[in-house]
Chains A and B, each alone.
Chain A
C-alpha cells in the first residue's frame, strides 16, 4: 500500500542553521514525490517536485530509492521558512491522487 511517513511532527531550528525535514515512502512502482508548504493563513502550495530536480527558496530534495526517502533540506534556515510542510506521493492510478504524510511544523527561531 502507498504510504508517506514524516516522523517529526515538530521541528525547531535557529535562523542560519541547516534544516532537514524527513520523509519516507512506500510505493510499488516508480514514485513521483512532492513537497507542499502551507504558510500561516495561506493555502497549501507546491514547493517542489522530485522530477524537476529544482531548488526553490533554497530548498532541495533528493529521491533516494534505496532508502525510500525524499528528505527536504536547506543549508541556512530563514525566519520566513516557518510553516507546515507536507511530503506527498502521486498515485499513478487513474485518479492520480496525492497521498500525504502527516506534516511537519517547522519553526525557525531568531
Chain B
C-alpha cells in the first residue's frame, strides 16, 4: 500500500492562473480531507469529501476554491485565479477507521 499520494509535490503559478492539486487516498479509503498550512501556522481544515459527495466544506474560502472526489480517479482541489495569499502547503488525508493518514503535501507558490 503506497499510502496517500499527492501530486504535484511542488506547483508554481502566476497570479491569475488556475491551480489543480490531486490526491489519491489509500486503497480502500473512500473519504478524504483537505487541509491548508499557511507559513508559520498549523494545518487548517478546508473540506471533507466522500466519493461524489461533499460532506463538509465549512473551511473552504467562499470564492475561487472548489473540491471534488469523482467516482473514478483522484480527489481534486481547484483554485481559480490564484493570488499570492494562496501560497501554502496543501495536505490531503484519507480516513481510516481510527485515524487520518496524510499525504506528503503539495507546496503551491504563487508568483
Contacts and interface: CB of A to CB of B under 8 A. Distances in A.
Interface of A: 4, 6, 9, 34, 36, 42-46, 49, 86, 93-103
Contact of B42 (A43, A46, A93, A103): A103
Interface residues of B, number: 25
B55 A4 contact: no
B102 A97 contact: no
Interface string B43-60: 111001000000110110
6 contacts: A36-B102, A43-B4, A86-B42, A95-B56, A97-B48, A101-B42
B25 interface: no
Given A4-B42, A102-B41, A43 B55 contact: no
Contacts of A96: 95
Interface string B1-36: 001100000000000000000000000000001010
A54 to B, nearest CB: 12
